[in-house]
Amino acid sequence: MTFTPEQLRAQLAPIPASSRLWVAYSGGLDSTVLLHSLVQLHLPQRLAALHINHQLSQNALAWVEHCAAECEALGVPLSVEKVTVQPAGRGVEDAAREARYAVFQRYLEPGDYLLTGHHADDQAETLLFRLMRGTGPRGLAAIAPQRPMGAGVVLRPLLSVPQNELEAYARAQGLSWVTDDSNVHVSFDRNYLRHRVLPLLAERWPGYTAQWQKTAELCAENEILLEELALLDFDAAQCRQEPAGWSLSLEAMQALSPPRRANVLRFWLRRMDVPVPGRQALQQIDAQLLRNRNNPQAEYRWGDWVLRTYQQRLYLLAHALLPPDRVQDLPQISFALTPEADQRVMLPVAGGLHLEWHGSTQPGLLRADLTQLTQLQVRWRQGGERCRPHDRAHSQSLKKLLQAAGLPPWWRPYVPLLYSGEQLVAVGDLWVCHGFTAPVGESGYRIHWQRDEQRPVE
């Protein structure tokens, strides 16, 4: 079978004529064939090319000039973006891809499509590469034909076309393309598979890329089923937004089988845009947090995230807080209230305090008599503090009050204590102490302890 541009028309037909088609144009064989083919189709959509200069090759500027010349000959506007690739512990390939995709997301506007030159050999290479790393159906689905990216959509119309057909088309059309010198270095895993392993498979099984494409499609279908099951279990687990994160019902999670618990966890983390730990890590999470009901101090940390359990909830927190033994070193913060005006106090940890003026009467407001609220300071727990909430008959230790209130243990060391001189006025936004509450019928300040920026549950 010989590739022709007409093979692309059916895939592009659903795209509205008002859309803009960006071609990720590296100047290599695949993107050159894609760009040339799209021009031959005389599509109603606007066509543009986007070239990323990774600055990784001594030939990078020559490639930019080549792409500019080819686009001018084809009558296609070209945008060129220069990026700096910073591996930072990752492979150069991964870092380059991340930098490239960041530019793509910035360029794509609503209704835009980004077309890439990924072909059937890329699909086979990706499937084998992920198999060597160890993966499940999601990984074996390999390269998706289409997926959202930023405000637009990525489309890979050549995914079923073998590279040899693209090369035959390019030679027949007399096209010119560049060759990335790094693609021949077998020190890179993908290049090793491309030059040493896949040619042997093609020699023994010439049509293997088509069969592997079927495998990828079947795995993609299985992944859809897993996602649908995960959504049902996720809804049953009643995801709830929390300060600095979210939580799920531990009881609902424990009612599931271990594979379904892992499936929900992956779904939850992806939905919240959190890096998903590997299979072994998920097994540790299951053993330490989901199956172990007798260790309230158990937690699992990775990167900037932590999972903890408390009162039959599994908490996903967006960042690790300071250790409790450092709370006593935090500075005291002095401030003054402005009559009938809001006041914000930024805290060194755990967000800030917002004292919101309320002209209408509400229960539990901090009194507005500023003659009684002098030398205001935010302090931190030192141990032994007592408070008599305004609606209680007796004072109690802060330790007992916080436990009874159900405040998760990791927040207790960081409760901001509002003092007037040496008198405790309020405990975060939990209680205004006796003697400092606005009398019935009077205005005052509503205290909000904003522990961290919160993101909505989608």
Give me the CATH number covering residue 301.
1.20.59.20
Number of domains in the chain: 3
* Full-model pTM: 0.76
264 falls within a domain: yes
Mark whether 163 and 307 lie in a shared domain: no
Domain boundary among 267, 286, 317: 317
Instruction: Tell me which of 80-84, 184-188, 315-319, 396-400 is least confident.
Output: 184-188
pLDDT for the residue 455: 41
User: What is the token pair recorded at 344?
Assistant: 């914000």
Residues 6+ apart with CB under 8 A from 23: 31, 34, 35, 38, 47, 48, 49, 50, 76, 114, 115
Share of the chain above pLDDT 70, in %: 95
**In the block, which residue shows the tokens 């930024």?**
346
HSE at residue 39, side-chain half, CA atoms within 13 A, is 18
Contact (CB, 8 A) for 305 and 314: no
pLDDT reported for residue 93: 80
Residue 458 lies in a domain: no
Kindly state whether residue 456 falls inside one of the protein's structural domains.
Answer: no
Mean pLDDT of 317-335: 77
Sequence-separated (6 or more) residues with CB below 8 Å from residue 193: 125, 128, 129, 132
Instruction: Answer yes or no: are the C-beta atoms of 378 and 416 closer than 8 Å.
Output: yes
Q: Do 64 and 167 have their domain in common? A: yes
* Range 144-150 average pLDDT: 91
- Regarding whether 60 and 208 lie in a shared domain, the answer is yes
In a domain, 228, yes or no: no
Return the higher-pLDDT residue of 183 and 335: 335
Segment 189-209 mean pLDDT: 88
Three-state DSSP state, 427: strand
The CA–CA distances, whole Å, from 432 to 92, 127, 140 equal 55, 60, 57
Amino acid 458: pLDDT: 42
Is 80 exceeded by the pLDDT of residue 22?
yes
Average pLDDT value for residue range 417-429: 93
For the chain, percent of residues with pLDDT exceeding 90: 59
More confident residue, 323 or 254: 254
Lowest-confidence segment of 52-66, 184-198, 255-269, 331-345 by average pLDDT: 184-198
Taking the alpha carbons at both ends of the chain, their separation in whole angstroms is 46
Picking from 41-55, 261-275, 329-343, 423-437, which range would have the lowest pLDDT averaged per residue?
329-343
Residues 253 and 390 both lie in one domain: no
Domain boundary, last residue among 289, 317, 345: 317
Does residue 196 sit in the same domain as residue 242? no
Q: What is the pLDDT of residues 247-301, one digit of tens each?
A: 999 999 999 999 999 999 999 999 999 999 988 999 999 999 998 766 777 889 9
- Please check whether residue 443 lies inside any domain of the structure: yes
Q: 32 or 341: which carries more pLDDT confidence?
A: 32
241/198 same-domain check: no
Instruction: Report which of 321, 318, 393, 390 is spatially closest to residue 350, judged by C-alpha positions.
Output: 321
Q: Is 263 helix (H, G, I), strand (E, B) or coil?
A: helix
- 44 in the same domain as 152: yes
pLDDT at 402 over 70: yes
In terms of domains, do 72 and 18 share one?
yes
Q: Residue 104 has what pLDDT?
A: 95
Q: Given 292, 317, 342, which residue is the final one in a domain?
A: 317
Average pLDDT, the chain: 89
Contact 161, 120 (CB under 8 A): yes
Which pLDDT band, with edges at 50, 70 and 90, does 89 fall under? Answer: low
Q: Is the pLDDT of residue 351 over 70?
A: yes
> Is the domain of 197 the same as that of 100?
yes
Q: What band does 233 get if pLDDT is binned at 50, 70 and 90?
A: very high
On the question of pLDDT at 52 being above 60, the answer is yes
Residue 149 resides in a domain: yes
Neighbouring C-alpha atoms within 13 Å toward the C-beta of 106: 12
Helix, strand, coil fractions of the chain, as percent rounded to 5:
40, 20, 40
* CATH number, residue 21: 3.40.50.620
223: confidence class by pLDDT, cuts 50, 70, 90: very high
Query: Is residue 261 located within the same domain as residue 199?
Result: no
Mean pLDDT for 165-175 is: 96
Distance CA 323, CA 43 (A): 60
The whole domain housing 216 covers 6-220
For residue 422, tell me if it sits in a domain: yes
Same domain, residue pair 244 and 187: no
Cα distances from 72 to residues 60, 78, 172, in angstroms, run: 19, 8, 21
**What per-residue confidence (pLDDT) applies to 182?**
72
Give yes or no for residue 236 having a pLDDT over 50.
yes
- pLDDT attached to residue 454: 43
- Do both 51 and 93 map to the same domain? yes
* Greater pLDDT, 371 or 132: 132
For residue 275, is it within any domain?
yes
Task: Quick: pLDDT tens for 352-382.
Answer: 899 998 876 677 788 887 777 889 999 998 8
Confidence band (pLDDT; 50, 70, 90) for 457?
A: very low
